[in-house]
Structure 1
């Protein structure tokens, strides 16, 4: 080992505390890097393998009913490589142990072969047997959530008839990696399940013999998806086609892709903040270390070491810390990433999710850490090695004397001795003080973002489920019904108010852009289901035109006053140009609202409804649930209480993990910045503080001089941290914004208080650690140090 390398090890041992603090800050950033990016790669790899193995389709289409010979015409469309027709129906389930009715989706599969597309992964049990109409395969998420086993039975109302379905196998499908009820965003595996039934049995139950109402296509490589969808829509229009969807807009895939994109974005944006702070801290620490080593630097130059050799020597000091931080970050990130994968496994149903950290992610973390260290150390090293040996032999000259602000008459008299020493030192080192303030402020900002997300989720729940949707129960019908269905609901036990709902599947087109979704009819006097903006105020329903989600308007490239083509995909399928009368900053999904009578007029129908919002008496909830289970016209029931509980649980599990990580790692940043500032100040002022001890100052008094700086720096960082936190939170909320959900940033006094308390706690720990070193100050050794 060379002399310089031995010196490097001695220097690192001497500054072990500071080196550890800097390494921890770097490790925190690299933990986030590895955790997010490794999960992104693992989920993407599982998705790709699953889709390929189970032959996930490229195009999906629903329709009213088409005879089986139409399948041959679909297969003849240029670019279609494979076709699979099916029968699909939504039913009400009676799940043991569940008071309210659950929802199920029945999907037909051949009994004598595996599906050509969207094949199932059979996790346990066996395939359905021909001629056994009550045998089904149940989705794994539903089985696990309800504690079912192979051989158990589930009651269902199928086309008005009560049936007991026997679960003979537990399956997974690439079509339902993320399994949600129609019209919802958050999964509820206990109350929604997918069942695969023999094709002939399901077709007979819904009068679909010799026909189908769902089709999936696999396209040949290089095929233009839009052209195939256009031809398919033309072919299915006469059969009640509801508009074909490419894989990108298939609900399960759409939500999974949205989550993957967020993981990738967070894996870059969040670590960047940690690396920026680490560069600050490293620069300050190395600057002071090189200042203390001026005589050694001069001696090394006198012995013949070149500037580049010395520069590399001190760069290795920074790179060694960065390498240690990167290795620790990779290990911690891999462990946390595995925990995060287990969390994702609760929401995304893959046969297996093989988590591992790829060499690219690990090497990327190492490269980012080393680059940050090099950038942070370069200016300090460059300035130090350029000092001529003769000048470096002398101690660093004192700063030029000038009367500071606190020495001016009128101010000096009002400050004690200790306070004047504290403020004078801060005034003489403004850049270093600013670096410490900014670094601590970044920690406060990261904390503020985490706590703000909790407040934002609470606000979203209040806005969505207390202001916009004030009903207790939402009922959806199998088919559009007359006003008599609403009167029937009003007679059910516990129903106080019935507000009819009308939704119509449609394609909204603006130029070459389009989206398939449901147009929701809202009454001008609606009290239960209203259009509510981000500010919490209800928007009036315009008598004409449509109101779009702001996100949908952005996707279509339209604004208020523009016209869009509304192509209804139901009934007489009218096509109308309608004006965008307004936009609403809603929080969940993409929505199109229209005045309900105007929508019915467009459809040329009477008081038709597809569902209803109910205000109910909680005392009759159990009786109402039993009654709804027995209604054959009901396709699904959503009780707001359970929806909110499920939403809170889902969000708390996801955001709770993020908050915990934020608190821990932001605390590490605050500790690292403040501890390094205190250690640098202690090394600079050790002779001064020792002299004060010899002169009779107590330990508490000299501690006040040193730790008072920390108090001032921390106090100054809090308002700056609030500003940085707000800006970072705005940027991160925009970054994670998606078509699935959008948060309205909420920062209230409690959010600011929690962020400030964590920073103050980290500062207190740093102060206690430095205070212990101050108590062990060698007075004789310090006083013998040569000026």
Structure 2
């Protein structure tokens, strides 16, 4: 081993504390990259294989009622590889012990064969037998939520008729990876299920003999989707087609895609923050090491080593720390990814999900971490090349402290000697102190941002279900009803208040941009289902225009005054031209609002409602739910308390759970930065502190000189970190926000106070560890160290 390599090992052992702290910062950056990239690859590959193996449709074409022979016309569309019709319908499941009816979707399966499109994965039990019309397969996640298994029976209301159904098997399907009840945004396995029945049984249940109400198409590769959609719409339009749509707009696939896209965005945006902090810390460590080893560098060069060899020696030090951190990050990233896979397996209904490593993530993690660290080290290595042996072996020119002492002289009469030493250190080395403050401020900023995000999640839930939604129960109907239904509901004993809602499925177009969603028709001054912006100000609904959420306005690139083309996807399917009356920031989803009277007038359907929000007397709730069960027009009943619990669960799993990991990582980084600053300060002043001990200072007084400096730097970094955290919170909040929910950047005294306590706690622990080393130091050995 060459002398320089032996020196490299000694240097690494000597600064092992700083090296571990910097390596930990690099490791968490690489951990995030490897974990998130692996999750993206795992979810994407599993989804692709699942869709291909079970033949998820490329096109879904709902229709009111079309004869079976139209499937041949759909199959003849250029680019269609297969076409199949089926019967679907809404159902209400009545389970013993539950007053509230549960929503379900009934889906038909072909007789005597497997589906050519949208096949199912049987997880338990057996397949259906065509001569038993009351046999069903039940979605496994719904069955698990209620403890149902093959052999059990359930009661369900289909098309106004109550039936007793026998469960013969449990199943999963690529069509229902993410299950959500119609009209809702949040998945809840206990409140929405899927029932598969034989085609003949569902035709009888929904009066569809010899007909279908949904067509499924598989397309050949490289076919143009818009052309296939237009052709399917032309064929089905005479039979009440409500508009074909592609897999991209299918509810389950849309949520899965959004989750994967969110992870992909975080995997590219979050790790660079940590690696930039690591590069900054390495720059500080290496620059101070070079400054302290000027004389050694001169001696090495005087013995014949070239500038390049000496530069490479210090560069190896940087690479060794970065490579060690990257390797640890890769290993911990694999472990974290495997742990997160279990969350996603519960979150989505994949039959299996194995964490698949992305080799590119390892390569990228190593290259980016080493590159970021090297970028910080290269600035310092310029000094190594510039030092000549003669200049390096001379002591550095003493700095001029004449101007820095004015403040110290004014305080000499007030401060004791150790305090004056701390003050002189701060005023004579402002650059070094500023660097340490900036490093600690970054740690503070990460803590502020992550605590703010965690508060933002809770704040969003609280605002959504206490300020925006003031109802207790929401009732949805099978189709648009007369507004007289409001009076019927109001007449029920225990119902305090009823507020009508009209929800219309539409496709919004503006220029080349489009969005498949709904328009929510609300009363002019809603009390139970309010339209408010992110500042909780009431959104005033115009008499004829549409109000867009900011997220939706961004998708459509629309501004107030623009005219939207609105394709209605129900009833007579009119095409409307509606002006944008305003744009507002919202917290949940990407909604569009209109006055219910203006929406009905535009549709040519006066006094119609599709849902009702109710406030009820909780004492009489059970009787109200039983009454709603008996109403054939009711498609579903949802409780606000259940929706809140479902949203909380959803945000605690999947990408929402990532905030806990990032909060833990922010804590690790904060401690690493503060500890690194303390170790650097001690390394620079070890000889001075030993000298103080020799001339009579106690251990406590000597420690005060160093720890007082750390305390001053830490306290000075707190306001700077609070400001940085304020701006960082907006970027992280935007990264966590999705089309389902928008996380506000929340700022509260508690978040700043908690972050400040975390930083000061890290400073206390770091100071304790450094003081322990100071107390154990051999004064003679330290004093023998040459300047």
TM-score interval (norm. to shorter): over 0.9
Which moved further from structure 2: 429-438 or 323-332? 429-438
Distance in structure 2 (CA, Å) of the matches to 1:405 and 1:61: 81
Which residue matches 2:379? Answer: 379
- Cα-to-partner distance string for 1:698-741 (whole Å, 9 max, x where unaligned): 11111111011111111122112122212122112223433222
Deviation larger for 606-615 or 404-413: 404-413
**Residue 84 of structure 1 pairs with residue 70 of structure 2:** no
Unmatched segments (≥5 aa) in structure 1: none
Give per-residue Cα distances to partners, 1:620-666, cap 9 Å, x unaligned.
12222222222222111110011112222322345774343234322
Query: 3-state SS of the aligned residue for 1:566?
Result: strand
Contact between 1:450 and 1:658, CA under 8 Å: does it hold in 2? no
- Once the two structures are superposed, the pairs formed by residues 420-499 of structure 1 within 5 Å of their partners are 420-499=420-499
Where in structure 2 are the equivalents of 1:506-521 lying within 5 Å? 506-521=506-521
> Partners of 1:122 and 1:628 in 2: how far apart?
33
Q: How has the CA–CA distance of structure 1 residues 704 and 611 changed in structure 2, closer, same or farther, with 3 Å as cutoff?
A: same
Task: State yes or no: 1:263 paired with 2:263.
Answer: yes
Shift of the 28–569 alpha-carbon distance from structure 1 to 2, 3 Å rule, reads closer
Aligned pairs (5 A) from 1:772-787: 772-787=772-787
The aligned counterpart of 1:236 is 236
**Contact 1:406–1:420 under 8 Å retained in 2:** no
The answer on 1:156 being equivalent to 2:156 is yes
Please state how far the C-alpha of 1:388 moved relative to its aligned partner.
Answer: 0.8
Q: Distance in 2 between matches of 1:223 and 1:449?
A: 46
Alignment check: 8 A CA contact 1:111 1:127 kept: no
In the TM superposition, residue 581 of structure 1 has moved relative to its aligned partner by 1.3
Q: In terms of mean alpha carbon deviation, does 550-559 or 198-207 score higher? A: 550-559
SS in 2 for 1:499: strand
Question: What residue is the counterpart of 1:627 in the other structure?
Answer: 627
Residue in 2 that maps onto 1:612? 612
CA–CA separation in structure 2 for the residues paired with 1:368 and 1:689: 39
What does 1:314-329 correspond to in 2, within 5 Å?
314-329=314-329
Q: Deviations over 1:326-367 (max 9, x none)?
A: 111111111111111111111111111111322221222122
| 1:351/1:11 CA distance change after superposition, 3 Å | same
- Residue in structure 2 matched with residue 599 of structure 1 by the alignment: 599
Counterpart CA distance in 1 for 2:269 and 2:343 is: 22
1:593/1:237 Cα in 2 relative to 1: closer, same or farther (>3 Å)? farther
Normalising by structure 2, report the TM-score. Answer: 0.96
* Structure 2 match to 1:17: 17
Q: Which residue of 2 aligns with 1:579?
A: 579
Partners of 1:153 and 1:718 in 2: CA distance: 62
3-state SS, counterpart of residue 90 of structure 2: strand
1:472 touches 1:615 (CA, 8 Å); kept in 2?
A: yes
Supply the distance in 2 between the matched residues of 1:660 and 1:566 (Cα, whole angstroms).
Answer: 41
Indicate conservation of the 8 Å contact 2:307/2:384, yes or no. no
Mapped pair 1:342 → 2:342: yes
Specify the alignment match of 1:216 in structure 2. Answer: 216
- Which residue of structure 2 lines up, in the alignment, with residue 545 of structure 1? 545
**Contact (CA 8 Å) 1:437, 1:714: kept in 2 or not?**
yes
Are the structure 2 counterparts of residues 399 and 197 from structure 1 closer, same or farther at C-alpha, using a change threshold of 3 Å?
Answer: same
Matched-pair contact (CA < 8 Å) for 1:454–1:655? no
Whether the 8 Å CA contact 2:505–2:569 is kept in 1: the answer is yes
Q: Does 1:524 align with 2:521?
A: no
Q: Quote the residue 2:199 is aligned against.
A: 199
The residue number in structure 1 matching 2:566 is: 566
Query: Is the CA contact 1:455–1:746 (under 8 Å) kept in the aligned structure 2?
Result: yes
8 A Cα contact 2:37 2:358, kept in partner: no
**Are the equivalent residues in 2 in contact too, given 1:406–1:423 (CA < 8 A)?**
no
Single out whichever of 456-465 and 740-749 deviates more from structure 2. 456-465
CA drift of 1:175 comes to: 1.1
Name the SS for the 2:327 alignment partner. helix
8 Å contact kept, 1:108–1:199? yes
| Partner deviation per Cα, 1:178-205 (whole Å, 9 max, x = no partner) | 1111122221001111111111101110
More displaced stretch, 114-123 vs 486-495: 486-495
| Distance change (3 Å), C-alpha of 1:4 and 1:106 | same
Once residues 12 and 365 of structure 2 are traced to their aligned partners in structure 1, the CA distance between those partners, rounded to angstroms, is 22
Classify 1:407/1:752 alpha carbon distance in 2 versus 1 (closer, same or farther; 3 Å): closer
Across the aligned residues of Structure 1 and Structure 2, the Cα RMSD in angstroms comes to: 1.9
Whether contact under 8 Å (2:32, 2:267) holds in the other structure is: yes
Determine the structure 1 residue equivalent to 2:667. Answer: 667
Task: Find the counterpart in structure 2 of residue 7 from structure 1.
Answer: 7
> 1:671-712, CA deviations, whole angstroms, 9 ceiling, x for partnerless residues?
222222222222222222122222222111111110111111
